[in-house]
Amino acid sequence: MQYHRGLMRAILHERVQIAKAVNATVIGIEDAPRGYAEFDQGAGCKYVLNPHGVLDGVRPV
């Protein structure tokens, strides 16, 4: 648990670029079926759903 706390704090303080590390892509809820299909076919990308637009305008870190 101590390791997880340190990692969480590093992410929250932008010392770790987690989105780049896991190859995450933000997609809207309307693109979810495509994202799931690509993931099922072995896409080397992780998708983060943004159903309410909360992440709109957030720069990737």
Please state the domain count of the chain: 1
Q: What is the pLDDT of residues 7-48, one digit of tens each?
A: 888 877 878 777 677 778 888 889 999 988 998 998 888 888
Question: In which element (H, E) is residue 5 found?
Answer: helix 2-12
- Could you tell me the residue range of the domain that residue 34 belongs to? 18-56
Whether the pTM exceeds 0.75: the reply is no
Report the C-alpha gap between 29 and 33 in whole angstroms.
8
Look at residue 8 and tell me if it is in a domain: no
Q: For residue 61, what pLDDT is reported?
A: 47
- 11 within domain boundaries: no
R_g (Cα) of the chain, nearest Å: 14
Q: Is there a domain that residue 50 lies in?
A: yes
Residues forming a β-bridge with 25: 47
Token code pair at residue 44: 């080397």
Residue 6 covered by a domain: no
